[in-house]
Chain A
Amino acid sequence: APATPTPAAETKKVRVALVLDGKIDDNGWNQAAYEGLKEAEAQHGVEIAYSEEIPIPDYEKALRDYASQGYDLIIAHSSIAKEAVMNTAKDYPKIAFLWTDGDETRENLAVIRPMAQEASYLAGLLAGKITKSNIVGMVGGIDIPSTHRSYAAFEMGLKEANPEAKLLVNWVGSFLDVAAGKEAALSQIEAGADVIFGNGDGQNIGVLQAAGEKNVLAIGAVRDQFNVAPNVVLTSVEWGFRKGIAEVVGDYVAGKFSGKVYEIGLAHGADLSPYHENASKIPEDVQNLIKEKRQQIIDGKLSIPDISSAQ
């Protein structure tokens, strides 16, 4: 389409900017996007810039600032900055925008939808099969669509694998509060949970740490969080922002950008992380089950519903 922005000439480097409402070292959501940006820089040789900790009232200003500086592709990594993204994209039709986890597109505005429900469902299967106490815990950050999606699919997998299993749910109200994550996980462990799913960002470190200390199996999220507690982390539900962002930037550089929805699912990096040293803790048949279901999803034989709204 003619209105689709065209990539700059070969000689000029493509400039990509990223606007974040948190810090690039938050261990989760923002860090994943930042790493995606870095990966794009490495893979596609683009020039990058970023702004951190842009509160919602200032989000539009930051986007416009990059737009007026002539950046080619501007990434808004916040689902609630809707006004800011839509207004700016409208006023700068020649510039490409990417809105991660957004809910609306334009010709020059693409959206990444992380299909975390797929990996989360697999994680739920794993938890259901591996729990001995039949009590499984989920500690979430804030109940926003992306975490909720993950939570709902996890519960679905859990119930499917083990109808007896009970799911304890804690939301700590923050994506950053390590302390709160740890306290919440400890309270679930006291209540008998023997597998804990940490569903969020920075606060997950606390969750996994608690599991590590109490020797309770755990599942991480957003990125591969094995390192936080190598003795207990079986796998992590990766959201694939890192790969997803790099992929969109790659499309742009290749002139293939369009205002579409990028569904980042199992095949695009929104996958379960490797089991690392803990593979031995997962029985062969469980591993096979997961492998099987994973393939079914990739092949389109099994579809996991996206339940992203909180009740």
Chain B
Amino acid sequence: MLQKIVLWTHKRTSNWQQMPDWLSSLLVILLAFLIGALFIIAIGASPLAAYGALLRAAFGSVNGFAETMIKACPLLLAGLGISLAYRAQFWNIGAEGQIYAGGVCAAIVGLYLHGLPTFAHITLTLLAGMIGGALLGFFPALFKVRLGVNEMITTLMLNYVVIQVVAYLLHGPLRDQASGITISPQLLKSAWLPIVVERTRFHLGVLLAVGLALLIHWFIYRTVLGYQIRASGENRRAARVGGIRVNWVIIWTVLLSSALAGLAGAVEVSGVQHRLVEDFSPGYGYLAIAVALLGNLEPVRVIFSSILFAALLNGADAMQRAAAVPVPVIYVIEGVVIVLVAVSIFRRKGSL
């Protein structure tokens, strides 16, 4: 029986493979929203109102777009980092922890370095975030290269460890003593990323992230180290034969990768929260994996996939308020969209 079903999808889908790319992608995404509509109807809400709210919230106003972009920002930065690591076949799933590490380091510099001019203070704050992220990435990279330790485990375990460290810091050393709650004091104003679009939260970090994406595109395709990252990932042995110091390259790649994730945390702290709070990343580090892969590890395409994800998250969130769609249904829609988008993008080519 099962075999029949599989054979059936085989037959059905072979025509589909001849379709132009854009058309089938569109159909697949439509299908995802149709499936979502069934759930929305099931809870007695209106799919049209819900999807209208989704689009309006994501792109319908200056503020909506700004919110989409500030959400895209950490996804983009961490996604860029993940793209680099995955190109070198280093399966970093520690971006979440690296985001937290970056956030903590940025917060410390933003809180305690007094008397700096704004530009210098912001630069140092972001730099601190990058160093924090990179530090966390360094050990899994070193263990992998020197001892052959599986990086998926080490990076995943470090996520849990770091999140507890952040919790500890917020209960103890970094806690705002004046406040009754477990948050750090506000960063000094000189460490705040400036707002770019008046009356929104659109901060400079967004532009920085987009600029970095272009830079990294150039870096991957036009520089020696970029070439070596790609070569080491695609064929380690051949890279070695060509005289590339593969281990050296992997360590640098992971440092860059985790520094970018750390930067995502720093930007979130100094651009949005202006202080360190627990849970300031609701799983950006995991979503960024999907963002990077849906962008096919191409920096410029990662810009678009991060915006797509941010729009989806923002818009879906707005469906709660505009159309009373409960959160479980929103998760179902998000999940279906992610799975089906993966299908539409990768069906022709092998991924990775």
Contacts and interface: CB of A to CB of B under 8 A. Distances in A.
Interface residues of B, number: 35
B235 interface: no
B320 A55 contact: no
Contacts, number: 85
B164 A173 contact: yes
Interface stretch (B17-25, B83-91, B268-276, B301-309): B268-276
Contact of A65 (B71, B177, B180, B318): B318
A79 B273 CA distance: 14
A79 B176 CA distance: 13
Contacts of A79: 180-182
Given A57-B268, A82-B179, A308-B180, A51 B201 contact: no
A66 B321 contact: yes
A308 B176 CA distance: 13
B171 interface: yes
B320 A145 contact: no
A173 B273 CA distance: 23
A310 B182 contact: yes
Given A52-B327, A173-B164, A62 B179 contact: no
Given A57-B282, A80-B182, A309-B180, A173 B321 contact: no
A112 to B, nearest CB: 13
A106 interface: no
A164 interface: no
A103 B180 CA distance: 6
Interface string B227-246: 00000000000000000000
A51 B282 contact: no
A91 to B, nearest CB: 9
A51 B321 contact: yes
A57 B281 CA distance: 7
B326 interface: yes
Given A51-B317, A61-B67, A83-B273, A56 B182 contact: no
Contacts of B181: 79-80, 82, 101-103, 144-145
Interface residues of A, number: 36
- For B167, B180, B277, B280, the residue with the greatest tally of chain A CB atoms inside 10 Å of its CB is B180
Interface in B290-320: 314, 317-318, 320
A61 B171 contact: no
A103 B175 CA distance: 14
Contact of A56 (B164, B175, B277, B326): B277
B321 A55 contact: no
Contact of A173 (B71, B167, B324): B167
Nearest to A21: B279
B280 A52 contact: no
A54 interface: yes
B321 A57 contact: no
A101 B179 CA distance: 11
B317 A56 contact: no
Interface string A124-147: 000000000000000000111100
A145 B179 CA distance: 10
Contacts of B281: 57
Contacts of B318: 65
Contacts of A54: 317
Interface of B: 57, 67, 71, 164, 167, 171-172, 175, 177, 179-183, 201, 268, 272-275, 277-282, 314, 317-318, 320-322, 324, 326-327
Given A82-B183, A103-B181, 4 more contacts: A51-B317, A56-B280, A80-B183, A311-B172
30 contacts: A21-B279, A51-B317, A51-B320, A52-B320, A54-B317, A55-B279, A56-B273, A56-B277, A57-B268, A57-B281, A57-B282, A58-B314, A60-B201, A61-B314, A65-B57, A65-B318, A80-B182, A82-B181, A83-B275, A101-B181, A102-B181, A103-B180, A103-B181, A104-B179, A142-B167, A143-B171, A144-B181, A144-B182, A145-B180, A311-B172
